[in-house]
Structure 1
Amino acid sequence: MPNSALQSPPWDVHRLPRADGRTVLVTGGNAGIGYFAAEQLAGTGATVVLGSRDRAKAQAAIASIGARVPGARLRHLPLDLADPASVGTAPQGLGRLGLERLDAVVLNAGIALDHPPRRTGPDGHELMFATNHLGHFALTAHLAPLLRATPGSRIVTTGSFAAKSERLDLADLQSARDYKPKRAYARSKLAQMLFAVELDRRLRAAGSASLSVLVHPGGALDALTPARPPLHTPGTGERLGHLPLGLVVQGKDAAARPAVRAVLDPGVRGGPVLWSPRVFGLRGEPRPEPLWEHLADPATAAWLWEASCELTGHQPQF
């Protein structure tokens, strides 16, 4: 673990540093952890762009944040990560919003399917793998020129505990032969996390000023998440019934904090580090910890990078 991460100044999740003049794109910023990351970042004075394929949900999220953060600077970028055409227009979309810099992108959006049959996106790739990994890989490639042009830019990738016990099947990367939804989801998140680690290695080798930072939110429950009507309104019975779990896990507002710290904290640096909640990686304030052992496998990460280049037709270049 880099000494720079261990020596970072005290971090107060309730007193975030100002980020006026900066621009942050949060994929999936209209709901869940992405919504709370956007809300917290908006409170720092940054311009926050919500990447979302659903305009109505994005506008509802913008209205909710605006009601809680006076003067919030919020935008919506139409973005469907499973659709290469939509991903490819992201830089032009930011330009149409009048945004000339991109200080950070939070690769947060994702889908989890619970039941067969196996589904595919517009390009024929398995839908969870296409959305959670390939879409973010291609998005980073398309945004690379804008990120390169913004000093100290950051690519923040949100992982998942689901990936901790999973391994990629390099002979069946998209679960074409043996499709089990929960396993396919876990592998798609593992691929996304390996991408963040490999991107970090490449950025440091190139001497780039941009950072790739890997985070995971810990255990996040809707029942422990503050209400944000009409987006999220947990019932009283639901909240009371899950209160004991608050000793172990947390709400999605707290689960957004590792990503927010990765965007804002000047003490965060690249390297083989995973930013996660303090208490067993499940709840509490974010802190750096060593990578899980299988995330530190450079051969698999490099293989996946090349496979992702071939599948998307793009390569992030910094």
Structure 2
Amino acid sequence: MSFASSTPPWDVHRLPRAEGRVFLVTGGNAGIGYFIVEQLSASGATVVLGSRDPVRAEAAVASIRLRVPGAQVHAIRLDIAELSSLGAAVESLEADRLDAVIHNAGVALDTPPRRETGDGHELMFGTNHLGHFALTSRLMPLLAAASAARIVTVGSFAAKSERLDLDDLQSRREYQPKRTYGRSKLAQMHFGLELDRRLRALGSSVESVVVHPGGALDALTPSRPPVHVRTVGARLRAAPAALLVQGKHAGAWPAVRAVLDPAVRGGQLWGPRLFSLRGAPRQQALWTHLTDTAVAARLWDVSCDLTGVDPEATPG
């Protein structure tokens, strides 16, 4: 199914201007998050970089200011895995409105053992999904204060082959790191779509969009010292992979488009054009399992119980 004719031409290198707008990017100090912040800063918007590491955050801010003259970017301490800290983090924004939040922060573990957040949740599920679920509830009044705010959830292509086990969301019975990661990102994507359905039912002006970066490798990512340094050797070794995947600067493109393109609508999925792995961002058909609203509704209820908040119940 093609959506090529449903959206206007889009140039990732010539973004529309966004002066006067305020965006928050979680996990913006490294990887795809860094490039989301850098690219949005080039639009003239005020961009808040959320990070749990103040030193790395300030290094990222300095790098962006060097590359984007006049960039309106600053950092706040934001630890998505620490649910009790989210209220203070939102207060530190010192903003009367928020035009978009990009839920990008995440944890990916490759090997056992299973780890937990301070709240006792499996680390990847607790950070990638539950943290953003709870943060959304805290941010909803600021998002509602904007004229047409967007919540952009950065999922993963790894979620396409996974299915949620609603009876073992925290991988207590069976822990396989890569599977748990894929399911945590799938939970995020289900949340982003269910959130938009609920916002539409409430008549809210806030929209929720889901994106994924496709295949994004460090070795294909341009250097941004000291945030990221790519060696010549790494670039040469990764050159064959560039036929199928791309760097993290390009992995940022779907999220940036979801924030800035007025043609993007809530409830949509955006990702890379070529095989969903590389290329310019475009709208994609929802994966079949993402259309299961019963699963999404059950996940929502469990998430409310685990976090003690309900984004739907917060004015928005």
Return the alpha-carbon distance in structure 2 between the equivalents of residues 51 and 123 of structure 1.
20
Structure 1 residue 91: deviation in Å? 2.1
Q: Distance in 2 between matches of 1:177 and 1:212?
A: 32
The one-letter code of the counterpart of 2:285 is P
Structure-1 residue corresponding to 2:23: 24
TM-score (norm 1): 0.96
RMSD between aligned alpha carbons? 1.4
CA distance in 2, matches of 1:30, 1:11: 26
Contact 1:6 1:288 in 2 (8 A): no
Distance 2:2 2:99 in 1: 23
* Secondary structure, aligned partner of 2:161: coil
Residue number in structure 2 paired with 1:62: 61
1:116-149 deviation line (CA, Å, top 9, x unaligned): 1111111111111110000000000000011011
2:84 corresponding residue in structure 1? 85
Distance 1:292 1:310 in 2: 27
Identity %: 66
Residues 145-189 of structure 1: CA deviation (Å, up to 9, x unaligned) = 110111100000001011111111111110011111111111110
Q: Deviation above 4 Å: which 4+ runs of structure 1?
A: none
Query: SS state of the match for residue 86, structure 1?
Result: helix
Tell me, what secondary structure is at the counterpart of 1:164? Answer: helix
- Counterpart AA for 1:17: P
State the distance in 2 between where 1:234 and 1:91 align. Answer: 34
Q: Would the aligned equivalents of 1:25 and 1:48 in 2 still touch at CA under 8 Å?
A: yes
SS in 2 for 1:139: helix
Matched-pair contact (CA < 8 Å) for 2:96–2:145:
no
CA distance in 2, matches of 1:184, 1:6: 36
Of 216, 219, 222, the match for 1:220: 216
Residue in 1 that maps onto 2:235:
239
- State the Cα deviation string for residues 91-136 of structure 1 (Å, max 9, x = none): 21111xxx22210000001001122111111111111111000000
CA distance in 2, matches of 1:78, 1:290: 36
In the alignment, residue 19 of structure 2 is paired with which amino acid?
D
Maintained 8 Å contact 1:90/1:142: no
* Structure 2 Cα separation of the partners of residues 182 and 241 of structure 1: 24
Structure 2 SS opposite 1:168? coil
Return the alpha-carbon distance in structure 2 between the equivalents of residues 287 and 2 of structure 1: 10
Decide whether the 8 Å contact of 1:219 with 1:282 is kept in 2: yes
**Are residue 230 (structure 1) and residue 226 (structure 2) matched?**
yes
1:112 partnered with 2:124 = no
- The answer to whether the Cα contact below 8 Å between 2:76 and 2:89 also exists between their aligned partners in 1 is yes
1:241: how far off? 1.1
Structure 2 residues without counterparts, runs of 5 or longer:
none
Which letter maps to 1:175?
S
1:14-34 CA-partner distances (Å, limit 9, x unpaired): 110000000100001000000
For structure 1, list consecutive stretches of 5 or more residues without a partner in the other structure.
none
1:129 aligns with 2:125: yes
Aligned length: 313
Q: Name the residue aligned to 1:43.
A: 42
Counterpart CA distance in 1 for 2:8 and 2:123 is 41
CA contact (8 A) 1:90 1:143 kept: no
SS at match of 2:163: coil
Mapped contact 1:152–1:210 kept (Cα < 8 A) = yes
Q: How does 1:1-318 map to 2 (within 5 A)?
A: 6-95=5-94, 99-271=95-267, 273-317=268-312, 318=316
**What is the SS of the residue equivalent to 2:93?**
helix
